Amino acid sequence: MAGEEHRAAASVRSETGMLLDARGLTKRFGDILANDRVDLAINKGEIHALLGENGAGKSTLVKMFYGSLEPDAGTISWQGKPVSINSPAEARALGIGMVFQHFSLFEALSVVENIALALSDAGDMKALARRIEEVSTDYGLPLDPNSIVADLPVGIRQRIEIVRCLLQEPQLIIMDEPTSVLTPQEADRLFLTLQRLASEGCAVLYISHRLEEVQRICHHATILRHGQFVSECDPSKETPASLARMMVGTEVVGVSLGAHQATGGTVRLGLSNLSAKASTPFATELRNINLNVRAGEVIAIAGVAGNGQGELFDAISGEMRVDNDMVRFDDVACGHKGVNWRRRKNAAFVPEERLGHGAVPGLKLSENIVLTRHSTRDGLTGAGFVSTTKAGELEQRIKKNYDVRMSHDDPEARSLSGGNLQKFVVGRELDRKPGVLVVNQPTWGVDAGAAALIRQALIDLAREGSAVLVISQDLDEIFEIADRIAVISRGYLSEPEDAHTMTRERIGLLMAGGAEENAGAA
């Protein structure tokens, strides 16, 4: 459906009251046409999905609604009147709020201080703190207003973004991958909140690659492909497969596990009674974790955010030092060793937070490659010099092999969409063919096609003889790729169980505290 047919459909839906009406929005970055004459209409009380592959133009479009970008052509009407939205402040004044995929928080400040900065009239800080507690609790996303953001896990930081937006009482909320770092229970509560807001007349523009939740909560969907409108539909009448097909233009190929070769395989990553005190009042203590990841297998660790996943990753990667014998790579003790030593032992690591931890925002992609591979045998460095030619060749190879879409060659990391940056960060480490790979939330914020690509690459790496450890909150992903599954809860890790016999109910029980009783050697 396009042109007049699309406008006619929008007119039919407008009977409940048009809130935002965009016509012919176009935005160009150099030679890249990010949005090409896009039409989009959102009604009051509607949860409207905006779907598309990574790089389809979704983020560019909503940034024009929020005043972060100015359209090159086209018009935006708000409640029937043409408007020019020149800044986020103007968007908020109209009644448009946005929850960003990449957090915009000051880590050195408290929750209440971060939220106060976004409010035009924050008033008394104690009163604001009480309001934050009331609103966050009411919406099922409880926050401690006095917590320092730097001490909080990613899932709690997402809550801050959502509550900060809700406190501004918007008429339209733009949400970019809001559940990517939420637990299933938190996501369920968020859905109830969105449905309540919609019943009160608030509209939600919802960007997500989790098509099951789009199908579950959204009233309407607009699909973009390569910057253009290609289709619209009622998601409740579609399937995740049909939605993915509209986004990609072809069928999305599923993941193949292949033959599991891990039985009796060499232990490539070993954790022995791994323990670590909590480094801050908001961190989680690791408690006697035992785990062996063997050549040829994928082990997945499930768990609710904030139960020690970040601390476990830091201990394995070398960002947090522990007793020497607690961590072993290929039977060499390395608890005292740093991350570069571990990389030289052919280990690779993909952290949860891609922008700021996985990549430096202001550096080019080739420079970010050097940061994690300068100590490996890639020919990137020698005699104190960096080979920019070699770094550029690697950037092009990763771009091609993992379909990283960008406006021009070798851009700064922060210029990529979230999903494309994720593909780059994961691809950079997979490209090394490491003997041990540890990845935290591998497909956070990527589309169905890219998720399948990454998951298949993880399986293929294991089948080639590597040991792959995946930390994920996505149970669908875990069951799709894992040979064995363990659960982390309150810093305890359960003994891994065969993925073919593990059930969601069993995982739920372990998440609820059973991991402590089921902890043991693996």
Domains, in order of start, for the chain: 264-346+434-522 (3.40.50.300), 357-431 (no CATH)
pLDDT at 94 over 90: yes
Residue 495 phi, psi (nearest 5): -70, 130
Taking the CA of residue 244 as centre, how many other CA atoms within 13 Å lie in the half-sphere pointing to its CB? 19
Report residue 382's pLDDT band, with 50, 70 and 90 as the boundaries. Answer: confident
- pLDDT confidence of residue 10: 43
- E strands within 122-266? 172-176, 203-207, 220-225, 228-233
Mean pLDDT across 182-191: 76
- Tokens read off for 101: 């995929």
Using DSSP's 3-state secondary structure scheme, residue 12 falls into helix
Using DSSP's 3-state secondary structure scheme, residue 455 falls into helix
- pLDDT confidence of residue 85: 95
Adjacent-strand bridge partners of 497: 485
Cα–Cα dist 502/23, whole Å: 50
- pLDDT confidence of residue 138: 82
Nearest to 436 by CA among 308, 284, 334, 520: 334
Identity at 239, one-letter amino acid code: T
Handedness of CA 358, 360, 361, 367 (dihedral sign): negative
pLDDT at 418 over 90: no
Using DSSP's 3-state secondary structure scheme, residue 27 falls into strand
Q: Which residue has the higher pLDDT, 189 or 98?
A: 98
pLDDT at 452 over 70: yes
- pLDDT confidence of residue 315: 97
Report residue 184's pLDDT band, with 50, 70 and 90 as the boundaries. Answer: low
pLDDT at 453 over 50: yes
Residue 288 burial by CB count (10 A; 0-12/13-18/19+): exposed, middle or buried?
Answer: middle
Q: Which residue has the higher pLDDT, 101 or 130?
A: 130
Helix axes 154-166, 111-118, angle to 10 degrees: 40
Using DSSP's 3-state secondary structure scheme, residue 254 falls into coil
Percent of the chain with pLDDT over 70: 92
Using DSSP's 3-state secondary structure scheme, residue 452 falls into helix
Cα–Cα dist 61/83, whole Å: 15
pLDDT in tens, 265-281: 899 999 999 999 988 77
Report residue 417's pLDDT band, with 50, 70 and 90 as the boundaries. Answer: confident
pLDDT at 321 over 80: yes
Residue 149, phi-psi category: left (phi > 0), alpha (psi -120 to 50), beta (remainder): alpha
Q: Which residue has the higher pLDDT, 508 or 246?
A: 246
- Residue 299 CA from chain centroid, whole number: 20
- pLDDT confidence of residue 6: 47
Q: What is the DSSP string of 318-380?
A: TSS---GGGEEETTEE-TT--HHHHHHTTEEEE-S-TBTTTB-TTSBHHHHHHHHHTTSSSSS
Residue 143 phi, psi (nearest 5): -130, 145
Using DSSP's 3-state secondary structure scheme, residue 152 falls into coil
Is 520 in contact with 495 (CB distance < 8 Å)?
A: yes
Residue 298, phi-psi category: left (phi > 0), alpha (psi -120 to 50), beta (remainder): beta
Nearest to 236 by CA among 397, 47, 386, 365: 47
- pLDDT confidence of residue 259: 59
Cα–Cα dist 232/5, whole Å: 11
Q: Which residue has the tokens 């637990």?
A: 183
- pLDDT confidence of residue 515: 63
- pTM for the whole structure: 0.70
201-222 per-residue burial string, b: 16 or more CB within 10 A, e: under 16: ebbbbbbbbbbebbbebbbbbb
